[in-house]
């Protein structure tokens, strides 16, 4: 039977529950344990696929095609193991299941209620990962903040689970904030005391407090927190602001978070964590010998979280190349031809980001034209690849009006178009081409050299595709489809001949980049931006 760790958050959102959970999981995994993490989100959307990135940041996609919270990206990047649909549950999904069962008559005339029906479904989902897997530890992160109305059924379910599973098999970690009051020059514990009170009201006594803080927590303060919150002093863990999220596992190790958890779970004589690879990565990340500047052309640049996985993939690829990747956000909505010249001239490479809808397309096309003509390394992802095709068809092949039907449904030259099976779909949730698909690479292409193999699997999230009717003319003019789906023939990668590095991909490579396996295309793009490794 697996042991369970529940992670709740107090005082404010954005304290980094995902990073703390992933860091703890990393430490436990480094001790040889099989660990997974799941995220429960209290909102009513069935999944985050229909959410604008401004709401909760990017939508992460798993191998099995689930559209999930971006925290699952952290879990995969830290643990280097894939997650699935079962690792992300929302209130919407819980209610959907219960209501469908009610319609099917499964409750035999009973009144369907939050307790026990919704809480039972939460408990069923919370323990679902155990089936068919051999996990030693399952970490469950509860989204939102204790005290929110939406969190209540989850807290009640955790309270019950501690009885169902046995208290010795569960640990409850509360992540909280210790604010620093500048005027008083003091760290304050009161918000944490209140937050723990709130948890106690829900029947949960936290076993461990993880305290986010800008300054070190003095001994007296730890003692005070322990006293007021009914935990032992060793269970008050300092989580000081870190230079990078990848420092957090080591900071947690120093604070003995993993040891404390194992002790509470009665897991004795565990080997010390083996973090050799992790430390090697950190060493390279923090001691770059070179630097590249990459323009990130997108329309959600105001919010870092909107391109989370891309930013992280750049960090991994930078470390791999022992170089610092400086990412300059370029807003596609304001980028016109003259601005493109000024803003893109000094860059070592540009990445054109994924996206939806017409807004910002013109700027993406200008950026691509500039880097294509000026031989600056280019990497286009999903919409970025589709824009590269449109730009090439218009400006190289002279096909006036070449467009994606997403942008202009009436275009006479639909170089990017809906797949026939997408045309009849009207519902938005979960209906895109989602998850991992195979792709065959052409020998000696840039992509083949980057991956070092000819068959790859990459994750998708899009409705529109390259229109194969244009393939022949396009290839004759020098834009080559170097990656194709072996079953459907759909174009997955385009590359330009006579260009130092011009790669557009229909899939999302950023979703598969991890600390241990930096993504080959990001690594090769950065290498190209470094001008084949020459020190600048
Ligand atoms: N909007 C485009 C499509 O649906 C691209 C999607 C994306 O960039 N993820 O095909």
**Per-residue model confidence as pLDDT tens digits over 266-314:** 999 999 999 999 999 999 999 999 999 999 999 998 888 999 999 999 9
Instruction: Evaluate whether 70 touches 22 at the Cβ level (below 8 Å).
Output: no
Give the torsion sign (CA, 277, 283, 288, 293): positive
Phi, psi of 136 (to 5 degrees): -85, -35
For residue 411, with 0-12 CB atoms within 10 Å meaning exposed, 13-18 middle and 19 or more buried, which class applies?
middle
The residue whose CA is least distant from atom 3 of ligand 1 is 462
Instruction: Evaluate whether 118 touches 153 at the Cβ level (below 8 Å).
Output: yes
The residue whose CA is least distant from atom 6 of ligand 1 is 462
For residue 110, give both structure tokens: 């009973």
Instruction: Evaluate whether 343 touches 350 at the Cβ level (below 8 Å).
Output: no
Helices (H) and strands (E) in the chain, counts: 19, 23
Which neighbouring-strand residues pair with 499? none
Residue of 431, 459, 462, 466 with the most ligand 1 atoms within 8 Å of its CB, for mutation: 462
Residue-wise pLDDT tens digits, 389-398: 999 999 999 9
Phi, psi of 236 (to 5 degrees): -100, 110
Cα 210 to ligand 1 centroid, rounded to whole Å: 39
In which order are the strands placed within the sheet that holds 402-404?
A: 402-404, 413-418, 464-466
- DSSP, res 110: P
**Where do we find the tokens 């001949």?**
497
- DSSP, res 43: S
Question: Rg of the chain's alpha carbons, rounded to an integer?
Answer: 25
The beta strands (E) that lie in 368-431 are given as: 378-381, 402-404, 413-418
CA angle 516/238/13 to nearest 5° reads 80
Helix (H) or strand (E) holding 457: strand 455-462
Say how many CA atoms lie within 13 Å of 163 toward its Cβ.
6
Residue of 351, 386, 418 with the most ligand 1 atoms within 8 Å of its CB, for mutation: 386
Q: Is the Cβ atom of 510 under 6 angstroms away from ligand 1?
A: no
Atom of ligand 1 nearest to the CA of 406: 1
Catalytic residues: 382, 508, 510
- Residue 9's alpha-carbon distances to 17, 176, 211, in angstroms, are 7, 6, 10
Residue of 356, 357, 381, 509 with the most ligand 1 atoms within 8 Å of its CB, for mutation: 356
Tens of each residue's pLDDT in the chain, 536 residues: 999 999 999 999 889 999 999 999 999 999 999 999 999 999 999 988 988 888 888 999 999 999 999 999 999 999 999 999 999 999 999 999 999 999 999 999 999 999 999 999 999 999 999 988 899 999 999 999 999 999 999 999 999 999 999 999 999 999 999 999 999 999 999 999 999 999 999 999 999 999 999 999 999 999 999 999 999 999 999 999 999 999 999 999 999 999 999 999 999 999 999 999 999 999 999 999 999 999 999 999 888 899 999 999 999 999 999 999 999 999 998 888 888 888 889 999 999 999 999 899 999 999 999 999 999 999 999 999 999 999 999 999 999 999 999 999 999 999 999 988 888 888 888 889 999 999 999 999 999 999 999 999 999 999 999 999 999 999 999 999 999 999 999 999 999 999 999 999 999 999 999 999 999 999 999 999 997 444 44
Instruction: Evaluate whether 22 touches 75 at the Cβ level (below 8 Å).
Output: yes
Q: Is the Cβ atom of 405 under 6 angstroms away from ligand 1?
A: no
- DSSP, res 161: H
Pairing of strands 137-142, 88-90: unpaired
For residue 182, with 0-12 CB atoms within 10 Å meaning exposed, 13-18 middle and 19 or more buried, which class applies?
exposed
């Amino acid at each position: 039977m697996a042991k369970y760790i529940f992670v709740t958050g107090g005082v404010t959102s954005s304290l980094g529950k995902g990073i703390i959970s992933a860091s703890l999981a990393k430490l436990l995994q480094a001790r040889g344990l099989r660990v997974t993490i799941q995220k429960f989100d209290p909102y009513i959307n069935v999944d985050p696929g229909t959410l604008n990135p401004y709401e909760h940041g990017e939508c992460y996609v798993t191998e099995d095609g689930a559209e999930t919270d971006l925290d699952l990206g952290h879990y995969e990047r830290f643990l280097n193991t894939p997650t699935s649909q079962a690792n992300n549950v929302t209130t919407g999904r819980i209610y959907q299941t219960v209501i469908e069962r009610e319609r099917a008559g499964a409750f035999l005339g009973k009144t369907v209620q939050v307790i026990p029906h919704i809480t039972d479904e939460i408990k069923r989902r919370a323990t679902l990962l155990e089936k068919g897997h051999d996990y030693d530890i399952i970490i469950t992160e509860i989204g939102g903040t204790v005290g929110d109305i939406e969190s209540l059924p989850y807290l009640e379910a955790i309270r019950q689970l501690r009885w169902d599973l046995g208290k010795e098999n569960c640990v409850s970690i509360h992540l909280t904030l210790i604010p620093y009051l500048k005027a008083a020059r003091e760290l304050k514990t009161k918000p944490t005391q209140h937050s723990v009170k709130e948890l106690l009201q829900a029947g949960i006594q936290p076993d461990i407090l993880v305290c986010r803080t800008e300054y070190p927590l003095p001994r007296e303060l730890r003692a005070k927190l322990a006293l007021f919150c009914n935990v032992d002093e060793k269970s008050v863990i300092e989580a000081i602001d870190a230079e990078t999220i990848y420092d957090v596992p080591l900071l947690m190790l120093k604070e003995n978070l993993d040891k404390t958890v194992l002790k509470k779970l009665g897991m004795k004589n565990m080997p010390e964590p083996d973090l050799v690879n992790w430390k090697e990565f950190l060493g390279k990340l923090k001691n770059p010998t070179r630097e590249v500047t990459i323009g990130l052309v997108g329309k959600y640049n105001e919010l870092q979280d909107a391109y989370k996985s891309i930013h992280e993939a750049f960090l991994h690829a930078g470390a791999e190349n022992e170089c610092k990747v400086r990412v300059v956000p370029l807003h596609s909505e304001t980028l016109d031809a003259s601005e493109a010249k000024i803003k893109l001239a000094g860059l070592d490479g540009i990445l054109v980001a994924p996206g939806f809808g017409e807004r910002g397309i013109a700027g993406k096309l200008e950026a691509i034209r500039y880097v294509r003509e000026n031989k600056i390394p280019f990497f286009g992802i999903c919409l970025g690849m589709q824009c590269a095709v449109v730009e090439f068809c218009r400006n190289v092949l002279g096909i006036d009006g070449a467009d994606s039907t997403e942008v202009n449904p009436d275009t006479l030259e639909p170089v990017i178009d809906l797949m026939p099976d997408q045309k009849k779909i009207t519902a938005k949730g979960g209906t895109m081409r989602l998850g991992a698909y195979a792709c065959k690479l052409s020998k000696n292409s840039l992509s083949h050299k980057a991956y070092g193999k000819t068959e790859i699997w990459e994750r998708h999230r899009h409705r529109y595709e390259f229109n194969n009717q244009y393939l022949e003319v396009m290839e004759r003019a020098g834009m080559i489809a170097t990656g194709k789906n072996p079953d459907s023939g759909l174009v997955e990668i385009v590359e330009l001949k006579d260009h130092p590095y011009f790669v557009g991909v229909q899939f999302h490579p950023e979703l598969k980049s991890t600390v241990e396996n930096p993504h080959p295309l990001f690594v090769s793009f950065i290498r190209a931006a470094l001008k084949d490794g020459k020190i600048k």
